[in-house]
Structure formats: structure tokens, C-alpha cells
Amino acid sequence: MLGLTPGEWQAIWLTAKLAGLTTLILLVLSAPLAWWLAHTQSRLGDITAALVALPLVLPPTVIGFYLLIVLGPQGFVGGRLEDMGLHHLAFSFEGILIGSVVYSLPFAVQPLREAFSAIPPRLLDAAATLRASGPDRFFSVVLPLARGGMLTAIVITFAHTVGEFGVIAMLGGNIAGETRVVSIAIYDHSQAMEYAEAHRLSAILLGFSFVTLFLFYAINRRAMSPLKP
């Protein structure tokens, strides 16, 4: 199909798996973090916000480099894993998954934080007076009202991870079925002067990215509107 080789299909599947898992992990991690950032008044909040935003300004190579050092065989985490008889995380799918989570963190936290901040505190007070407990308020008031921000976080995180290159190149290398995602495969093909293959995969990424963003804006416009009182 589409004239793609099994190797290219593998790269596409790997990219989708990486982006999907990254998005899932980030949603779970970001929701409490974004909630805390939206409501804290402590200095720690500013420090955390700056740390979360770092991947926006750092070159991916810097993130990849530090992660390689930490997760590699001599690193703090990688070394411990080796001591425990496990494998270190450099040049592995788990390694690039961690890298993607770090790299896309601001793209999940930022929209959620804004969505949470936009919820009037009175609505949560009202829910409490109607006997809703804390978790009940979160699921019955916060999540439905933050659905626009959730959708943004999901789409942008997924798309951003699909477009990731530098971190994976540094941390994961180029191992078929393990770390060779589409962006790496394109780089590989172009280095080998296999322009037809590079063209095919590039066109697929371009098409995917455009369709995703287009659908996102179209849906978001409708999803957000009834929430503006």
C-alpha cells in the first residue's frame, strides 16, 4: 500500500506508538502539574513553570545530550539499571519515550494550565455546596470545562512528538523497529541519497501534520464555543 516498504511501515508504526504513548503519559502527568501551576501562588510555581518551558527554547540536541548522559550505561539512571541487572536506556524505545515525554512536556502542560485557570473558582465552590467531593468536582466540573484545553494538549503533544528529531537522534540513534521513527528514517534516506523514499515519507508527514492541525482547529472552534458564557 502506498508503495511503502516494510521498513517504512515499521518506522510509521513506531512513530505512532511513540507519539501515542507519549501523549498518554503526558496527559496523566500534566493534569495534576497543570492544576497545581494554575492555582499555586508560591515561588516554587514560577521555578516549575520555567523548568517545564525549557524544552521550548533549548535545542533538542541539548536535551538529548543530557538525557543520554543520565540514561546511558554510565549515567545516574542507566547505571543503576545496569547494577540491577537490567539494560540502560540509551538507544532503546523506552529511552526515546522518556526523551519525548520531556521534550513535549510544555505542549501538554501549557494548554491544560490555561484551561484550568479559565475555570471560575465559584463553579467549584458551587459544586462543593452541592455535596461534590474533590475528585467528583474534578471529573464533573473541571474536566468537562477544560475539554478544549485537553483536546489542544492531546493534538499538539501527539503532533509535536511525531515531528521530533533531535532528541531521538542524540538519545536513540537509528535502530530499526526500536528507535528509527519516520523523521530519523527520512534523514537516513536523504543521507543515502535515496530521495524517492525521503520524498514519500516527508510527504506523508506533511500531509498528516496538516490534516491533524486542520481538523484540530475545526473541531476546537466548535468544542470551545459553548463554554464562553
Partner 1 sequence: MLKGHLTLRQGSFLLESGPFEIETAGVTVLFGRSGSGKSTLLRAITGLDKHTRGTLSFNGERWQDGAWRLPTQKRDIGFVFQDAALFPHLSVRGNLEYALKRAPKTGGPGLESVAARVGIAHKLDQDVVTLSGGERQRVAIARALLSHPRLLCMDEPLSALDWRAKGELLTLIDELAHETGIPVLYITHAPIEVERLASRVVFMANGRIERIETLREALARPDSPLFDEEGPVSVLEGAMGQTDADGLTPFGTDQVRILLTGACGEKRSATRLRILARDVSLAMDEPRGVSILNHLPVTIERIDPAHEGRVTVACRLADGQLLLAEITAFSRRQLSLEPGASAYAMIKSVALME
Report if residue 126 touches partner 1, rule: CB under 8 A.
Answer: yes
Stretch that binds partner 1, among 10-18, 94-102, 120-128, 169-177 (CB under 8 A): 120-128
Which of 5, 40, 133, 191 lies at the binding interface for partner 1 (CB under 8 A)?
A: 133
Report if residue 27 touches partner 1, rule: CB under 8 A.
Answer: no
Helices and strands per DSSP (H, E), number in the chain = 12, 0
Q: Closest approach of Cβ 111 to partner 1, in Å?
A: 18
Task: Show Cβ contacts of residue 110 under 8 Å, excluding neighbours closer than 6 positions.
Answer: 34, 53, 153
Which of 4, 69, 132, 151 lies at the binding interface for partner 1 (CB under 8 A)?
A: 132
Q: Is 173:130 a contact under the CB 8 Å cutoff?
A: no
Residue 149 carries which side chain, given as an amino acid letter?
G
Report if residue 229 touches partner 1, rule: CB under 8 A.
Answer: yes
How big is the site for partner 1, counted in residues (CB under 8 A)? 20
Q: Is 174:47 a contact under the CB 8 Å cutoff?
A: no
Which of 32, 120, 177, 207 lies at the binding interface for partner 1 (CB under 8 A)?
A: 120
Report if residue 140 touches partner 1, rule: CB under 8 A.
Answer: yes
Report if residue 227 touches partner 1, rule: CB under 8 A.
Answer: yes
Instruction: Show the cell assigned to 17.
Output: 506508538
Report if residue 123 touches partner 1, rule: CB under 8 A.
Answer: yes
Q: Is 101:26 a contact under the CB 8 Å cutoff?
A: yes
Stretch that binds partner 1, among 1-9, 51-59, 65-73, 119-127 (CB under 8 A): 119-127
Q: Closest approach of Cβ 227 to partner 1, in Å?
A: 6
Report if residue 127 touches partner 1, rule: CB under 8 A.
Answer: yes
Report if residue 85 touches partner 1, rule: CB under 8 A.
Answer: no
DSSP character string of 153-218: HHHHHHHHHHT--HHHHHHT---TTTT--HHHHHHHHHHTT-HHHHHHHHHHHHHHHHHHHHHHHH
Treating both helix axes as pointing N-terminal to C-terminal, what angle do 93-117 and 6-39 enclose, rounded to 10 degrees?
A: 40
Instruction: Show the cell assigned to 72.
Output: 546511558
Task: Please give the residue ranges that form the binding site for partner 1 (CB under 8 A).
Answer: 120, 122-123, 125-133, 136, 140-141, 144-145, 226-227, 229
